[in-house]
Structures are given as structure tokens and as C-alpha cells.
Structure 1
């Protein structure tokens, strides 16, 4: 069993004493999923082809997927295969460090996270580790020194490319609602957004152990670059479905803030990652976020939600996780 991070040393009692864990070992069923789904696949080349009809069709496809699925995949997204491979190589190099070094050093601005410190049961536990890095911190002194200088260089290029793509997609979704893009231009930039490097070690203990617990994203938009191991699942028509990896596509999903801002026209959908018993999984997520004092109001009259800032939303999420073990999210802010 993987000892980097030392999950069993830290959480062994929690896992083995959990009634959910014992039941899963007896039943060996895991979560009931409905096979694999192929997310809507959208060719972004049509946004810049110069053909206005093709562009309108593409905008409609993106908006429809954001409304019906909350998730979609994009091709011809403008991020080169070489840059994606470079980022993956640097990511693996960082995670291959000894656990004590990841935990104790200042690499990537002390952004290392692992396991689930607040978990009291199996359903609250995540078998994964991550570096959750503010984009603005990547270029700071001490973020990546010595053997990791190349990591900084690649991350800066990768974050810039993801930022361009995220702002372009957000612009399309705003355009579809006939709204001004000014809010996103003023409030979402490298000072407010995040990059998250994820690793999900293999785990043969139980098919019910989460790599990442069910959740929605607390941002406007997330862009995910994943390997071909699989494990991502999302809620569709009240059932969990597994997302089939596509080696040529990036995954995009709507976050809570976009659902509120669009007055529920776009959907922030619950999703999770399940562990693989034999192989580890890597992914990288870019989160398009506003500043903490940005007011998130509805773009439509007769809003379904109270006005709230991103900072207030984050604070409420943290309080709920601490008190209840789970994120409550948008229902807290319904009128």
C-alpha cells in the first residue's frame, strides 16, 4: 500500500472503524454508476473560424452543455500538447518528493494538502494529495527554487494559457446571456485565480473510498486536464455516471458562482473522484475566481439568491465543513 502520503498511519483507525468501510468490504459493490458517459464535445476552432454561423452554433453548444450538464469537453483549445506534457512531467516530479519534504518545505508557497483532517467518517475522507497554488504566488521568490526552477517556468506558461482559455469560455457564456463581460474582466485575473495539482495514489482497500469527496466547485469556471486513468464521476439525472477520458480534450465545468450569477441558467454539478486499486491518477485544475470582496449578484431580475461576496461564500463553506463535515454551498444563499 502506498506510504507517500502515509494515509494508513494517519487515518487507518478512521477507515477501519468506519461502519461504511466495513459494509463496503462485505458487499464489494461500490457506488452504483450507469456505465461511462461521453461528455458534450465542443470544437473551439469554430469560435475563431471567421464563419459567424459556425460561431453562433458553437456558442449555443457551450451554453447548452453548461445548462444541461454543467460539464463539457473542448477540443482545439489553444494549449499545446507539448505544454501539457511539460506540465505533467513537472507535476510528477513534485509529487515524487519524500512526504516529509512536501509537508515541511515552502515549495509552492506552503500549498501542500493531503487526506482530510476534518473527516470523521469514510464519506468525508479523500485519498489524495494536492498543491493548491494561487496563480499570483507562482512567480514569487521561494516558490520553486533549485531543482524546481523548471517547475516555475512551466507553471507560469501553463497558468497563462489556462487563464486565456477560461476567460474566453466565460466570455462566451456571458455573451449567451446578453450580458456585459466587464464584471469578469474587472474581478477575475491572476491575483484571484488558482492552480491545483492533484495526485490520487492507488488504493486497493475498498472500491468505496473517494479520491475526492462529492462536491461542487466554489468558483466561476474550472478547467481540468486529466490523464487517462479515469475515476471522475458526476451527477446526471440523479445518478452517478463515470466520465470517459478523452486524450485530446480538456474538461470544463461550471462552478457555484456562475450558477448564482446566471440565476440557475448554468449548473454547478456535484462530482467526485473514485480511487483506482492498481494505478495512480494525476490531474491539474485551473479555477477562475473573483476577488474575495467581489459581490456576486444575479445577472437576471428577480434573483434566486441573496447578494453575497466570494469571501462570504468561502467562509460559509469552511464553517459548514468544520461543523457538518460537508459543504452546503449555494442553498445557504437562496432567498
Structure 2
């Protein structure tokens, strides 16, 4: 299938031609019932104004609701989250400008510690392939001066610094609420998660000639405590609910929050790190995610005993995930650490 490639798009078809051969494309990623989407859903909506309104009963009800949806869904969306709408508009503009740079410029640059990624170098089948590109940026790198895009994208750096600070504050509030709901102290989370350990990820999903049968991002769970996602209104995010894939309806004013593997382990499986994916579209899609992560040597244990999981460090967990993906093409995750 011949297509005219936009200069900003990664050369997916050229680099991964074997994956997109005619024979392969007759068996697309969504070919089986287990990958079919059965319905569209609106995620549970939490108004965070209730946490700060001054009414203690209202606050307790909000805390309990956040705990409940984190157990039942593993995902929820929040409004009145405290992140300025103008800041979110600014990051959209800067993000689009960055990704509209020619592919060769993006891949050769050293912007944000060479954080540019695209496709899946280890993929051996479409089930392991993501039609997407991203800048996965450690927050610690936002304060550093580098070369490459330094002058051209100074405004991007400034906006990302502001957004990182705002999302970090929101993540800490939510982590504290989730710990409170379990009757536990969040001291461990607060001490181990800092700007030096967390990430921002700028995502772009280019138009795909094989939509909707190609993953924008393969099914996975997040290897962090929790994730905060700001997305456009194109749609494409899907998650596993009651053993079925459901498509998430975008909300123009909400941010999406999801529980990560570390919070599931820390909560002793009270909160659920739910498998999710992104499907491609004929138009491009953008999102930006904040990942609340601990230091690599932080020990992850359950807040209450007996624990379902062996204690492990974040470094051990990341290393095991990477080893599994390299060896099998898939993430195994918490199953490796069951006690």
C-alpha cells in the first residue's frame, strides 16, 4: 500500500516493512474477540472541589469515592483539578510544534537527554507494535540546559516545567487521598517520589493507513504509582473492564487518572492497575502523561501485612519488565513478584 508520508512522521512502513506485509495485515491486531471493543464508556467523574470545599462530610465522601473507583475501575477522571486551562492550551501548542518538526531532526536531536522514541525496535509481530512517537522526559532534565532544540524550543521547556510542577502537586494530593482511604500514611510515597524520579511523556499518534486495526500503544499496565493523562478529543484510549475492552469517551475539561502497578502492590491489590491500550486513527492524536515514580532504590512493600507480594525495589521491577519484554515481547509485571 503506497502512501505519501508527511516529513514529520516516523518511517514506520519502511523500518517495519515485514510487520506490515500483505500477509501480516490480513490478521490485524484487533482480529480476535479478546481484542474487540464492546462499548464506549464515560469514566467515573470526580469533582476535586469536594476535597477543598471546607465541608468535612463532603471531603470524606470524595475520599471514599476515589478509593472505590480505584478499586472497581483503576481509572477515573477529575475536574476542578487545579491545573490552569491556559497552561493546558499552551502545552498543546508547544507539543504540536515539537512533533511537527521533520522526523530526521527529532531523531538526531539531543533535546531532553535524547528522550525521543518511536515504534518498537524489538517488535516481531503487530501485536507487539505501537504506531506512535514520544518524548519520554525525566523531570530532572527539564532544568538542565542541553543543545539541539535549545533556542527553538525554550518556550516548550518553560511550559513543561510549569505543567510538571502542577501535575506533581495533583499526583501527591491524589496519592495522599488513596493512602488515607486505606487508613495508611502516605509518608513512604512522599519521601520516595521526587522531581528526580518522575517523568513527563509527550505522545503523538500519527495518522495510520491501517486504522483501526493497529495499536497506537500496545496493551499494558503502567509501572508507576499513578499516572495523570491530558488528551485531546480524538479518542482511542481503551481499557479492560469486566474482562472486556471498553472505549473511553473523551471529556473536554477532565484529566484522566489511573492506578499503576506500584500502587496495586502497595495497596495489597485493593487498588487495581488495569490493562489499557491506544488504537490508531486516520487523524493524528496527541496526549501528555505524568508518571509518579519512586527512586530506583526505593523498596516497594504493602501498606498492610500479610503482603501478597515480595518486597522489591523499583529498579528490580523495571529491570524485570524490560527483561520480559526483550525475551517474550510482552510485559509480565506484578505476577513475577507474588509472594
TM-score class, shorter: over 0.9
Distance 1:31 1:177 in 2: 34
Q: For 1:109-128, list aligned pairs within 5 A.
A: 109-128=113-132
Q: Secondary structure of 2:143's partner? A: coil
Match of 1:315 in 2: 319
Q: For 1:201-280, list aligned pairs within 5 A.
A: 201-276=206-281, 278-280=282-284
Give per-residue Cα distances to partners, 1:54-95, cap 9 Å, x unaligned: 000110110001000000000000001100000111101110
RMSD: 1.7
Instruction: Answer whether contact 2:126 2:214 (CA < 8 A) is retained.
Output: yes
TM-score w.r.t. length of structure 1: 0.96
Deviation at 1:24, TM superposition (A): 3.5
Match of 1:49 in 2: 53
Match of 2:161 in 1: 156
Deviation at 1:30, TM superposition (A): 10
Cα distance change of structure 1 residues 93 and 326 upon mapping to structure 2, 3 Å threshold = same
TM-score w.r.t. length of structure 2: 0.95
Q: Secondary structure of 2:89's partner? A: helix
Match of 2:290 in 1: 286
Deviation at 1:180, TM superposition (A): 1.1
Deviation at 1:12, TM superposition (A): 1.7
Instruction: Answer whether contact 2:321 2:333 (CA < 8 A) is retained.
Output: yes
The equivalent position to 2:170 in structure 1, one of 165, 182, 187, is 165
Q: Secondary structure of 1:225's partner? A: strand
Distance 2:80 2:172 in 1: 16
User: Gaps spanning 5+ residues in structure 2: where?
Assistant: none
Runs (4+) off by over 3 Å:
24-31
User: Gaps spanning 5+ residues in structure 1: where?
Assistant: none
Cα distance change of structure 1 residues 206 and 88 upon mapping to structure 2, 3 Å threshold = closer
Deviation at 1:204, TM superposition (A): 2.2
Instruction: Answer whether contact 2:138 2:197 (CA < 8 A) is retained.
Output: yes
Distance 1:124 1:203 in 2: 16
Deviation at 1:26, TM superposition (A): 12
Match of 2:38 in 1: 34
Q: Secondary structure of 1:287's partner? A: strand
Higher deviation after alignment, 178-187 or 266-275: 178-187
Cα distance change of structure 1 residues 75 and 183 upon mapping to structure 2, 3 Å threshold = same
Distance 1:262 1:25 in 2: 33
Deviation at 1:264, TM superposition (A): 0.0
Instruction: Answer whether contact 2:225 2:292 (CA < 8 A) is retained.
Output: yes
**Number of aligned positions between the proteins:** 333
Deviation at 1:175, TM superposition (A): 0.6
